[in-house]
Amino acid sequence: MEILAYGVQADEQPLLEEAFAGRHSLRTLAVFLNRDTAPLAAGYPAVSTSVNDELDAGTLAVLAAGGTEVIAQRSTGFNNIDLDAAAGLGLTIARVSYYSPYAVAEHAWTLALAVNRRLTRAAGRSREFDFRLDGLLGRDIHGMTVGVIGTGKIGECFARIAAGFGTHLLGWDIAENPACRELGMTYTELPELLSRSDLISLHVPLLPSTHHLIDTAALARMKDDAILVNSSRGGLVDSAALVEALRAGRLSGVGLDVYEEETGVFFTDQSIQGITDDTLARLVTFPQVLVTSHQAYYTRTAVGQIIDTTVRNIDDYAAGRTNENTLVPKG
């Protein structure tokens, strides 16, 4: 099959080309998919997309009109795809249902440790040969109470690392994970977890029920010196409410790998023209906040697994098969 892949990162391109070599014809684009760029896919029966592509009804209609039959998303999340519209257009949709949970869990801990020990500020000072310790005082992770919101595969990996630090674990999820129980985790209601935790990490999917799970009320329940980490989905956190909490001098550290309005900003160079999102611009000015651009998944292991699964999804479609990654079967 002829495949057009959108939103391909420079590090990702050679891995994609190697994986598809001898199997399918692949063209890669750095640009993201939206209504304006969808016509580029005319004549390509298969399109591969990233989590920051816009697959709304209008974009999907352009793809279908151009001859696209199958869309293989290179991510686990698919809230950027209008599945009902895809089904109505007869498009097949597949995703990557699994890749290394360690990649995301480790990055979440990287953010937590960095904001706790003020590493961004320390590194900036060192470049200017300022080696003072003023303002760099952190806390021991050992002995902290760590709240894990969402205890699936990634949440479990995060909890295992937390247990290695010697923390007290609290968990919240719709279903308890026995492996987390074995680590000593105590499951609680969400308000209790928020009020008792020194460090809170989010690992739930973005659903209508979890949208703005961390809102003004949730933030008010948290300790003034709590650390908040989100490496899951940006929409879990009410960003405007978070800014107000920080303006009030609350929270000692915030690590964000995702942002609710990241589409069109993350994965792009905005250094020359700047950004027009006042909330994001304000967030990055707080000294205790560290923002990374949705890179938690971005390890060689995880990206390799994502690409291998994407190849299998295309192979299965070409052979008339569905698999566990199929979200919308062939119409």
**Hunting for tokens 């690590």 — which residue is that?**
255
For 177, how many CA atoms within 13 A lie in the half-sphere containing its CB? 23
Query: 24 catalytic, yes or no?
Result: no
Catalytic residue among 27, 233, 261, 300: 233
Strand partners, 93: 71, 328
From the candidates 294, 300, 321, 324, give the one annotated as an active-site residue: 294
Q: 88 phi and psi, to 5 degrees?
A: -65, -30
Alpha-carbon gap, residue 264 to 330, rounded angstroms: 30
17 classed as catalytic: no
Note the Cα 304 to chain centre separation in Å.
Answer: 17
Of 168, 262, 300, 321, the catalytic one is: 262
What the block records as the tokens of 90 is 């007869």
- Structure-token pair, residue 73: 């998303």
129 sits in the region (left: phi over 0; alpha: psi -120 to 50; else beta) called left
**233 assigned to active site:** yes
39 DSSP assignment? G
Other beta carbons within 10 angstroms of residue 258's beta carbon come to 24
Cβ distance 47 to 4 under 8 Å?
A: yes
CA–CA distance, 234 with 41 (Å, rounded to integer)? 28
Q: How many residues make up the chain in this entry?
A: 331
How far apart are alpha carbons 254 and 91 in whole angstroms?
A: 40
The DSSP secondary structure of 214-282, one letter per residue, reads B-HHHHHHS-TT-EEEE-S-GGGB-HHHHHHHHHTT--SEEEES--TT-TTTTTS--TTT----HHHHH
- Active-site residue set: 233, 262, 294
